[in-house]
Amino acid sequence: MTKYKNEIILVLIPFVYGLLANLTDSTLLTPVLTQIIFLLFWYLVGVKFAKLNKDKITSFLYGNSIWGLSFLVFIWQFILLDDNSRNFFLAGVSQYYMFPFIWIGRELTVMFIDVYHGTTIMLLAYLSMLVIFLLGFSYGWMKEKLYS
């Protein structure tokens, strides 16, 4: 576990940013600037996880483990449960991880529908996180294959 301490820290950064933004009741940075920084950051995290000395599927799953847990809690709380059944603590915590990607989720939502629907925005934010990580991971994997 300590062998991959730096990778664990990298994977936790979006959650920590979302938590801090929630605790301070602000976005810390402008939404567009946050998005640019986290798009680049998450892409590079994907590249880094592609270079781990593990098989690629394990590296990919390891890099998206917290994303996956957070996404499952989000689906459970916001899609499978109704408003009255929702656990407000779990629902809130599930939003922290994708918070740095909320701007792109909102922009993608506007491309497809005229109404801002919070669950759709958050779902697209989660999916954009996965796509950005996958792009970085694919690049890192291909680069490693070319140079080995």
Please write the tens of the pLDDT for every residue from 3-56.
778 899 999 999 999 999 888 877 677 888 999 999 999 999 999 999 998 899
Mean pLDDT of the chain: 91
Does residue 22 lie in a domain region? Answer: no
List, as own/partner pairs, every contact residues 124-128 make where C-beta atoms lie below 8 angstroms and the sequence separation is at least 24, other chains included: 125/98, 125/99, 125/101, 126/67, 126/70, 126/71, 126/74, 126/97, 126/98, 126/101, 128/101, 128/104
Q: Does residue 8 belong to any structural domain of this protein? A: no
In a domain, 11, yes or no: no
Nearest to 99 by CA among 6, 34, 7: 34
- The residues, any chain, with a CB within 8 Å of residue 91's CB and separated by 6 or more, are 74, 77, 78
In a domain, 25, yes or no: no
| Cβ 98 vs Cβ 122: under 8 Å | yes
**pTM, entire model:** 0.90
Any domain includes 77: yes
23 in any annotated domain: no
Question: What residue numbers bound the domain in which 140 lies?
Answer: 36-147
Q: What angle do CA 17, 77, 15 make, to 5 degrees?
A: 10
45 CB contacts (<8 Å, ≥6 apart)? 10, 11, 63, 133, 136
114 secondary structure, DSSP code:
S
* Number of domains the chain is built from: 1
Question: 40-44, 72-76, 91-95, 130-134 — which is least confidently predicted?
Answer: 91-95
Calpha distance 100→32 (Å, rounded): 10
